[in-house]
Structure 1
Amino acid sequence: MADLRNLVQKAFYLGVGIADYAREKAEINLQELRIQAQKVADEMVSRGEMNVEEAKKYVDDMIQQAQQVNQETKEKNKQKEPRLIEIVSEDDENNTEETKQENLDDLKQQVESLQDELNRLKRQ
């Protein structure tokens, strides 16, 4: 039981770690995009192809588009159903049909004895 709990805990921490890594990566990519867009805008201003206000608007538009794509991706991922995870223990793998049938017979016998006991108590 401790192994199962440990496995679930590790899986949870792995998921949190992956999500945090993805968030950090997205922030880094957004910063890099801002720097590159600013360089392009600065170069265009120095050539006289656009003025400072147009350059600022260009950079802001690029960042906004990137954030919008990021938001759309998040929404698509939220719409997906969670993935089913099946945890199989060694005991489950070792159970044969014969063992399962024996367990089922034992449970039936226990139910019958409990019903008999209940009927006996009702009569008293």
Structure 2
Amino acid sequence: MSSSTESYVISDDEKLWAFIAWLIPLIGGILALILKPNYKFAKYWSYLSISFFVIIIVADVISFGLHFIPILGTIISILIDLGLLIVWILGILKSLQKVYWKPTVIYDIAKLLGI
């Protein structure tokens, strides 16, 4: 991030909106963008939230296809879901710590969306 972003003071209200954005992927992100468009930190997490939702959809499609492979497909689907859960929990913690987190792939998609 640029030095102007690093010196930006993040209020508790803005932290709350970043948390809401990440807590409820897509819906929370859209709400934060609409209701608090001037909150830079919340906007950052909103784009990550929307990107994470895209990843969830792609993972669900892959998991559905894997269910046609007996046993191994189910195991891989469970691992994918567990990985998404871990990323989601890490994101919750990072948003509450006022950190500009850059998770691989999610951040890349967010940059494409205009973060």
Class of the TM-score when normalised by the shorter of the 2 chains: 0.3 to 0.5
What TM-score do the two structures reach when normalised by structure 1? 0.37
- Relative to its length, the structure with more helix (as a share) is 1
Task: Report which structure shows greater RCO (CA 8 Å, sep ≥6).
Answer: 2
TM-score (normalised: structure 2): 0.39
